[in-house]
A and B are shown apart, each in its own frame.
Chain A
Amino acid sequence: MVVLIVSGTTGEFDHDCAGHPERPARIEAVMAGVDDLRLGTDLEFVLASAADRASLERVHTPSYLDELAAFCSEGGGDLDPDTYATADSWSAAVRAAGAGLAAIDTLRQRDEGVAFVAARPPGHHAVADRAMGFCLINNVAVAAAALAAEGERVLIVDWDVHHGNGTQAIFWDDPNVLYVSTHQWPLFPGTGRPLQIGGPHALGGTVNVPLPRGATGDVVRQAIDEVALPAIDEFEPTWVLVSAGFDAHRADPMAELALSSGDFGDLARVVAAFAPRPGRLALFLEGGYDLGALRMSVATTLGALLGGPYQPEEPTFGGPGTEMVQQARAERVAAVRRAQETAPSEESSP
C-alpha cells in the first residue's frame, strides 16, 4: 500500500502567531513522524495547489471568502479570541483546502493507498460564514462536498478531541454525508450533543458521542462500535474522510482525554475498515499541539494503515465514559425516533 502525504504548506507561507499553539512546528512534527516509519517506496509526497473558488463556495459563503481574503491582504489580525490570520493566511488556507482536493484526486487516479493531508491551518471548526477555533477554511468539508457533488456517499469520522461544529453545520441537512464525532464534553466549542442528529433531509446523518475527561482509547472504540456503527452500516459510504486531530492524546495541553498514540493506530484500523475498497480513505490533520505526541501519533496511525508493527505506546484501557457512551446511544435512538414522528425540535438544531 502507498501512503500519500499531501501537503499544502511546506514552510512557504507565514501563517504563524508568536506563542500560539497552532504553529508551523506542528507540520515538522508530522513529517518527523512520517520519517520515523522509514517507508521508502511506500511513501509519496504530493504538493497541492490552491483550491479553486467553486470548490470553496460549495462550503463557504462568497461574502465570507471575500472578507477573509481582504482581511489577510490588509495584514490580518485576530478573527476571534482564538483565531488569528496573517497576510499569508489566505494563501495558506486555500492551499490547505487544495491539499484535500489533491488527495482525493490522486487516490481516485491510483485506486489504491491512503492519503494523509498534512496541511494547516486546520479546518473542522470553520463554519460557512465564519472562522473559529484556529480554523479558516473547512478543509475536510471542501473535500467531502466535492465528492458529494459527484454522487459519492461520504463518511467523515472526526476523532479530534473537540467537536467539529463547522463540519456538522455544513452537512447538517445533506443526506450524502454522514458525520461522526467523538469528543470531550464539556469542552470547546460547546456543541456535539447526541440529540443533534441532522436536519429533516438527513435525519440520523449526524452522530455525536461526547466523552468525559479521562476517557481512554477503549471508550472511543466503544463509542464507534455501539453508537456510530449502525449508522455507518446503513449509510454504506463510498469514501471515508477522517478529521484526524491528535489532541485527544493524554499529553496534549488543550484537553483532558487520556489516549495514547497506540490508540490512534487502533482507530485508524477501525475507520479503514469502513472504506469500501482501496484508495478511498483520506485523513486530514486537525488538532494536536504536543509535538512529541503528535509525531508518535501520526507515525502510529500511518503504521497501522500499512499493517506494520510501529507502536511506541500501548493502547489505553479502563478510563471513564462507558456509561456516557451508553447514554449517548439511548439519547440518539430516542431523538431519531422522535424526529421521524414529528417535526425537528429546537434540540436538534446544529
Chain B
Amino acid sequence: MTVLQTIAVGFDGSPDAQVAARWAFQLAGQVGVDVVVVHAVGLLEHVAGTGNAAELEDMARDLAAEAGLEPARVRWHLADGDPCSVLARAAQSPISADLLVVGSRGHGARAGLLLGSTSHELAEHSSVPLVIVPAGRAGLDH
C-alpha cells in the first residue's frame, strides 16, 4: 500500500474550494503529511489586472492556520492550465501527490451538471485517489 506523503488540494477561492482545503488541512494535520495548494492559472486570469493569485494564497494559508496545520507543511503551487489538467498533473513530479482533494463545484460551475465539473472530470482522469468534499462540510469531525 502507498504511504500517504503529499496531499494536493485544488483551490480557486470558491466556497466549495475552501471547504475542500479545510478538510485537506485537517487530514494533513492528523496524519502528519504536507499539503500542496494548487491553483490553475487560466487564459483569463493571465490578462493583466485580473489575476488574484496572491489573495488566494493568503486565503489558503489563513485556512491552514485556522485548521492548526504548521505553516511549513503548506506549499502554494501555481500552474498554467485548466483546473482538471493542472490537478491531474499534480500526481506527477515535482508535486508527486498521492491524494487529490477537490470541492464538489468550483467558481461558475452549474450544480447538477457533469459537463464543466472539475471533480467529475478528475474522477475519470486522475491517476491517484481522489476525494471530493461535499459542499457545506465543515471538517473531518462533522
- Chain A residues within CB distance 8 Å of chain B: 20-21, 64, 67-68, 70-71, 77-82, 129-134, 162, 165, 186-191, 253-255, 346
Assess whether B56 is interfacial by the CB under 8 Å rule.
no
Other A-B pairs beyond A132-B82, A188-B80, A190-B89, 16, CB < 8 Å:
A21-B47, A68-B115, A78-B110, A79-B115, A80-B83, A81-B82, A131-B116, A133-B43, A187-B46, A187-B80, A188-B43, A189-B81, A189-B85, A191-B81, A191-B85, A255-B46
Cβ–Cβ contact B116 & A133, under 8 A: no
9 nearest CB pairs, A to B: A78-B108, A190-B81, A190-B80, A79-B116, A82-B42, A67-B115, A132-B82, A82-B43, A189-B81
Q: List 8 A-B contacts (CB under 8 A).
A: A67-B115, A79-B115, A80-B116, A81-B82, A82-B42, A132-B85, A254-B47, A255-B46
Assess whether B107 is interfacial by the CB under 8 Å rule.
yes
- Chain B residues within CB distance 8 Å of chain A: 12, 40-48, 79-86, 89, 92, 106-110, 113-116, 118, 121, 124
Q: In the complex, which residue of chain B has the Cβ closest to the Cβ of A133?
A: B43
Cβ–Cβ contact A188 & B108, under 8 A: no
| Residue from B46, B89, B118, B124 within 8 A of A188 (CB atoms) | B46
Cβ–Cβ contact B109 & A133, under 8 A: no
Q: Which residues of A are found within 8 Å of B106, using beta-carbon distances?
A: 81
CA distance A82 to B48 in the complex (A): 15
Q: Which residues of A are found within 8 Å of B110, using beta-carbon distances?
A: 77-78
CA distance A71 to B79 in the complex (A): 28
Cβ–Cβ contact B82 & A80, under 8 A: yes
Cβ–Cβ contact B47 & A253, under 8 A: yes
CA distance A20 to B42 in the complex (A): 13
CA distance A71 to B115 in the complex (A): 7
Given A77-B110, A79-B115, A81-B107, A133 contacting B48 (CB threshold 8 A): no
CA distance A133 to B107 in the complex (A): 16
B70 to chain A, nearest CB (A): 29
> Does more than half of chain A's interface fall in helix, strand or loop, or is it mixed?
loop
Q: Which residues of A are found within 8 Å of B42, using beta-carbon distances?
A: 80-82, 133, 188
Given A81-B107, A81-B108, A130 contacting B84 (CB threshold 8 A): yes
Q: Which residues of A are found within 8 Å of B109, using beta-carbon distances?
A: 77-78
Q: Which residues of B are found within 8 Å of A64, using beta-carbon distances?
A: 115
| Residue from A81, A186, A255 within 8 A of B44 (CB atoms) | A81
Cβ–Cβ contact A71 & B113, under 8 A: yes
Cβ–Cβ contact A81 & B83, under 8 A: yes
CA distance A346 to B116 in the complex (A): 27
Q: In the complex, which residue of chain B has the Cβ closest to the Cβ of A130?
A: B121
CA distance A189 to B106 in the complex (A): 19
CA distance A130 to B85 in the complex (A): 11
Q: In the complex, which residue of chain A has the Cβ closest to the Cβ of B110?
A: A77
Q: Which residues of B are found within 8 Å of A68, using beta-carbon distances?
A: 115
Q: Which residues of A are found within 8 Å of B83, using beta-carbon distances?
A: 80-81
Q: Which residues of B are found within 8 Å of A70, using beta-carbon distances?
A: 115
Cβ–Cβ contact B46 & A254, under 8 A: yes
Question: Most chain-A Cβ atoms within 10 A of its Cβ — which of B43, B45, B79, B81?
Answer: B43
Cβ–Cβ contact A190 & B47, under 8 A: no
| Residue from A77, A162, A255, A346 within 8 A of B108 (CB atoms) | A77
Q: Which residues of A are found within 8 Å of B108, using beta-carbon distances?
A: 77-78, 80-81
B51 to chain A, nearest CB (A): 12
Question: Most chain-A Cβ atoms within 10 A of its Cβ — which of B45, B106, B113, B124?
Answer: B113
A148 to chain B, nearest CB (A): 25
